[in-house]
Amino acid sequence: MLVLVACAVSPAWSGYGGQHGGFQIDARRTGKSIYEGTSEAFVSWQVTTGNYVMSSPAVADDGTVYVGSYDGYLYAVTPLGAVAWRYPTGATVSSSPAIGNDGTIYVGSHDLNLYAINPDGTMKWRFQTIVSPGIPPGAVYSSPALTSDGNVVFTTEVGCVYSVKADTGTLNWAYRMAGNTYSSPAVSDDGHVYVGSADGLVYAFNPNGTVQWTYLTPAAVHSTPTIGSDGTIYAISFDGALHALNLNGTRKWVYYASGYTSSSVAIGADGALYFGSTDGYMHAVKPDGKKKWAYPVGQPITASVLLD
């Protein structure tokens, strides 16, 4: 079931690079909403799908909401809560859609494919993750990221990273990491790609798919990296440590929460970083890595933070 909790909202921001909407809003995964929220919220409508909805919805400029479901469909819902169409993939959809500037919706499926869907619900193209020896096919759990030069970057659960052309689905490059990954890629304005891996590494890829550097953390990196306005890369390892990395892959600082986390950070207007942990606290960290505050919510936090 998809429930829209509505308030008085207005468009506030358009995404970096070639996308808006999707997991953590933009390709840099900053967690900055394109809408301004208010403190007065109410349920505007709800739509029942055929199974669980575990991913984040994406909202187009015209207010259409796109969301995937465990029933294998990508749903398009009008601003009034009516299902405009649903597109069948071959398996579960746990990937959050990303919306290109031309309105194309990109979403992954557990059927080993990445789909590009037109705004009218027809398929633009489908990319199968069976491409070459040494690059095994895998389910697309992650959310794709769009680059400013017209490419789509995504990962599969078997630890492969792909870059394909956004207009045709043609493969640019593919790379197999050492461990599995449930991390979505983050893409900088100049096309560098950052991904976490279950082997504890944060990978940095050049725009052509070569590895620029890797950074080793003490635990698996299930979270999606976030890129700051100054180029700092933020990644959280499963042991609750928030790592701030320089552009060359060296460590800037580490902030330790007491619990575990696989969520991603959101960056505030003042550069502060916000994330939740299973220790039951919402953490706020200053840009220099020092604690700003920690607020107890009373329950473990597993979702990523979103800021208006």
Take residue 113 and report the two structure tokens written for it. 């494919």
Q: CA-CA distance, 202 to 195, in Å (whole number)?
A: 6
| Reported confidence tier of residue 3, pLDDT bands at 50, 70, 90 | very low
Query: Residue 17 has what pLDDT?
Result: 43
HSE, side-chain direction, 13 A CA sphere, residue 76: 22
Average pLDDT over residues 243-267: 90
State what percent of residues in the chain have pLDDT above 70. Answer: 86
pLDDT at 6 exceeding the cut of 50: no
Residue 89, pLDDT score: 97
Of 22-36, 211-225, 259-273, give the range with the top mean pLDDT: 211-225
Q: What is the pLDDT of residue 134?
A: 74
Residues 6+ apart with CB under 8 A from 224: 23, 24, 29, 142, 143, 183, 184, 185, 186, 196, 264, 304
Whether 96 has a pLDDT exceeding 70, the answer reads yes
The chain-wide mean pLDDT, for the chain, equals 86
| Domains of the chain, CATH where assigned | 2-296 (2.130.10.10)
Residue 128 CA: distances (Å) to CA of 75, 166, 209: 21, 14, 18
State the Cα–Cα distance between residues 149 and 132, nearest whole angstrom: 24
Mean pLDDT to the nearest integer, 173-177: 94
d(CA 38, CA 26): 22
Comparison of pLDDT for 269 and 115, the residue scoring more: 115
**In this structure, are residues 231 and 205 in contact, taking their beta carbons and an 8 Å threshold?**
no
Tell me the per-residue pLDDT of 109-158, one tens digit each, with 9 for 90 and over: 999 999 999 999 999 999 999 766 678 899 998 899 999 899 999 999 99
Give the residue ranges of DSSP H helices in 90-244.
Answer: none
Kindly tell me if the per-residue pLDDT of 4 is higher than 50. Answer: no
Q: Give the mean model confidence (pLDDT) for residues 27-49.
A: 70
pLDDT at 20: 53
In this predicted structure, what is the pLDDT of residue 218?
93
Q: Given pLDDT bands bounded at 50, 70 and 90, which one contains residue 280?
A: confident
The predicted model gives 54-80 an average pLDDT of 93
Averaged over 284-304, what is the pLDDT?
88
Question: pTM, whole model, 2 decimals?
Answer: 0.87
| CA dist list (Å): 249 to 28, 34, 212, 215 | 17, 30, 9, 6
Closest CA to 155 of 29, 49, 306, 302: 29
